[in-house]
Amino acid sequence: MSVLVYISTQAGKATNAGLEVASYASALQTGEVIALVAGDISGDGGLGAVGVSKVMHCADALTDNSQQSKLTKEAALSIGAKAVVFSGNSIGNSIAPRVAIAMNAGYVAGATGLPEGKTYTRNVFSGKATAHVQVTTETIVIAVTPNSFGIKNTGGSEAVVEAFSADVGEARVTLNGFTPTSSEGTVPLPEAIRVVSAGRGLKGPENWGIVEDLAKALGASTACSRPVGDMGWRPHHEHVGQTGITIRPDLYIACGISGAIQHLAGVNQSKVIVVINTDPEAPFFKAADYGIVGDVFEVLPKLTAAINAL
Amino acid sequence: MKLLVCISKAPDTTSRIAFTDGDKRFDESGVQFIVNPYDEWYALVRAIELVEQNGGSVTTITVGEASCDPIVRKALAIGATDAVRIDAIPTDSSQVARLIANYAKDQGYDIILGGKETIDNNSSAVPAMIAECLDLPYVALVTKLEMSGDEATLTAETTGGTNNLSVKGTFVMSATKGIAEQRIPNMRGIMSARTKQLQVVEASAVEISTQVDVFKLPPLKGDCVIVDADNPAELVRVLREEAKII
Ligand SMILES: Cc1cc2nc3c(=O)[nH]c(=O)nc-3n(C[C@H](O)[C@H](O)[C@H](O)COP(=O)(O)OP(=O)(O)OC[C@H]3O[C@@H](n4cnc5c(N)ncnc54)[C@H](O)[C@@H]3O)c2cc1C
Ligand SMILES: Nc1ncnc2c1ncn2[C@@H]1O[C@H](COP(=O)(O)O)[C@@H](O)[C@H]1O
């Protein structure tokens, strides 16, 4: 039995999200791991090292999810895959549910770990609970929550790359342009390993320098609370929480954020939470691992200096 | 234009989450229900705006039991033309999508809109699945939608950036922040909602392919370790030596 894993590439290399889902597919241990890549790939894109034995390569970088879905279904059928794995990022979430319907397969959205038998764990109620979901179909489509599994090098050898194509019909959605939100080389927020986030306690957009300095010292991405996005202090795409982005970094540092339940919903899956707030009663401290009761304008520069001194 | 908006019932964002029936079911007792925020604030309001500009109708569709009717009435009060409820217990995303698709096919909708995700199920799956069931184009995470004739111009979030897209003819989309502003229903809307049609239809037969064995609450965080504000170097030390995170 084999597993098909859908991989996005950037400049010919599998993205971190792609390497993570390939690692997940290998760890399923249900057989040969075969990757499907639509678009640019150089060599095996780094996929052999995470356990992929073969890459099915479609040279056409498809941008319409109905075409991507058809391609995936054909690839899965051609190798008799019983599991198809995607990253649960924006791209994966637009294709994987379509594939599940097309293949009459049970769908697990946002799996956070390996299954026990056919039971998968996923987050529900915006991170306030987990559901243990049993899939009753033979074929399963899984979208894995970004950063929930990690990249695991298996030391495998270079994967074989074979051309693959299928009749995917015409593109019905036309892509007229793409604007990157993050500058070249920085990771998208849902995939970030470290995040420094700030709220209304920063008083105004002109004060974000101390937040950015800390983020830079840690190699972290920046995020913010919703009011900060709404007031235009920071770009909307940095807003985390129930109505914003959900993140699960290893380290989340919240500066001048009160810790409202809707904010916590987007960040409470972080491994370690650090809160810096002048108010010892701020609800965020109850959800934190480490806290500093203090003024961000004094604490952040000192913290940055301490990290830079490492 | 003829628009269909998928709206689901969700627990208020401040609800205490608890389970019942051997932790197999969400405990609804004492919970306030709202229209799922993405469906109401974004998908529904943008659909209403488009019909205000171009004429036509906005129908809402909900898969759920009679307990959904109050939130459906709210959508009518905000400005939907009429509503359909498919009488079934929503159990998994493909079941919900198939029920909606079975109802919507042959009805001639120009756009089927949903939200980015439900705040209880968090699947981000139903609209994409409806699109596949009906073999329609799908655009996820739309932050801007303009129509001219039968051509839609959209801006949509994707991994690492935003796409500018266009689609001709019928399509399915999920809406997210930016596409519209929340609307508060006024008295007139609330009054007129009482006389608008809420049609209850029987569920078609569809299969269910997943089941929840058990829900669990996350383990409680241990006590927060407070570090002296004058000594952030101590924080760096614990992050490195205890948490082993930097
Ligand atoms: C349906 C709904 C959905 C929502 N979704 C989201 C969401 O997705 N994300 C989100 O973030 N919010 C969301 N909210 C809003 C949320 O309820 C809070 O209002 C919001 O998170 C508060 O933002 P804040 O912590 O930045 O501001 P505040 O609540 O004003 O907190 C500012 C904090 O800064 C501290 N502070 C002030 N000065 C300093 C200083 N010099 N140094 C250190 N600390 C200082 C204060 O003690 C305070 O705790 C939602 C609300 C609703 C109703
Ligand atoms: N029971 C339901 N009835 C109607 N629409 C729904 C239902 N469940 C989900 N949806 C729609 O599908 C979107 C995504 O839901 P989900 O896939 O559960 O995250 C929601 O924002 C709604 O627009």
Question: pLDDT band for position B218 (50/70/90)?
Answer: confident
Residue B220 touches chain A, beta carbons under 8 Å: no
Residue B79: DSSP 8-state = T
Residue B145 lies in a domain: yes
Question: pLDDT band for position B221 (50/70/90)?
Answer: confident
Does the interface ipTM go beyond 0.90? yes
Q: How far apart are CA B91 and CA B235, in angstroms?
A: 45
pTM of the model: 0.93
Q: Give chain A's domains with CATH numbers.
A: 3-163 (3.40.50.620), 189-308 (3.40.50.1220)
Mutate to test the interface with A, among B28, B100, B123 (most CBs of A within 10 A): B123
The sign of the dihedral angle between the CA atoms of A9, A13, A16, A19 is positive
Tell me the chain B residues in contact with residue A179 when contact means C-beta distances shorter than 8 Å. 161-162, 164
Ligand 2 center–CA B226 separation, angstroms: 41
Ligand 2 center–CA B50 separation, angstroms: 21
pLDDT in tens, chain A (310 residues): 899 999 999 999 999 999 999 999 999 999 999 999 999 999 999 999 999 999 999 999 999 999 999 999 999 999 999 999 999 999 999 999 999 999 999 999 999 999 999 999 999 998 889 999 999 999 999 999 999 999 999 998 999 999 999 999 999 999 999 998 866 556 788 889 999 999 999 999 999 999 999 999 999 999 999 999 999 999 988 999 988 889 999 999 999 999 999 999 999 999 999 999 999 999 999 999 999 999 999 999 999 999 999 8
Domain count, chain B: 1
CB-CB: which of A64, A96, A134 is closest to B137?
Answer: A64
The CB of A241 under 6 Å from ligand 1? The reply is yes
DSSP three-state, residue A301: helix
- Cβ within 8 Å of residue B185, ≥6 positions away: B74, B77, B78, B79, B193
Q: How far apart are CA A221 and CA A212, in angstroms?
A: 9
Identify the H or E element spanning B239: helix B232-241
CATH of the domain at B88: 3.40.50.620
Look at residues A95, A124, A99 and name the one whose alpha carbon lies nearest to residue A111: A124
- Cβ within 8 Å of residue A209, ≥6 positions away: none
The residue written with tokens 């007229």 in the block is A176
- Chain B, 174-213: which have a CB under 8 Å from a chain A CB? 177-178, 208-213
The answer for B130, left when phi > 0, alpha when psi is -120 to 50, beta otherwise, is alpha
Identify the H or E element spanning A274: strand A272-277
Answer yes or no: are the C-beta atoms of B12 and B120 closer than 8 Å.
no
The CB of B63 under 6 Å from ligand 2? The reply is yes
B13, A289: Cβ pair inside 8 Å?
Answer: no
Tell me the chain B residues in contact with residue A109 when contact means C-beta distances shorter than 8 Å. 93, 122-125
Identify the H or E element spanning B158: strand B151-158
Ligand 2 center–CA A176 separation, angstroms: 28
B216, A244: Cβ pair inside 8 Å?
Answer: no
Token pair in block for residue A32: 């040969």
Tell me the chain B residues in contact with residue A170 when contact means C-beta distances shorter than 8 Å. none
DSSP three-state, residue A25: helix
Q: How far apart are CA B172 and CA B137, in angstroms?
A: 6
Confidence (pLDDT) at A183: 62
CA dihedral B72, B74, B143, B62 (to 10 degrees): 0
The parent domain of residue B107 ranges over 2-218
Residue B236 lies in a domain: no
Q: How far apart are CA B234 and CA B182, in angstroms?
A: 45
Tell me the chain A residues in contact with residue B38 when contact means C-beta distances shorter than 8 Å. 243
Answer yes or no: are the C-beta atoms of A224 and A234 closer than 8 Å.
yes
Direct distance between the N- and C-terminal alpha carbons of chain A, in angstroms, rounded to an integer? 49
DSSP three-state, residue A288: coil
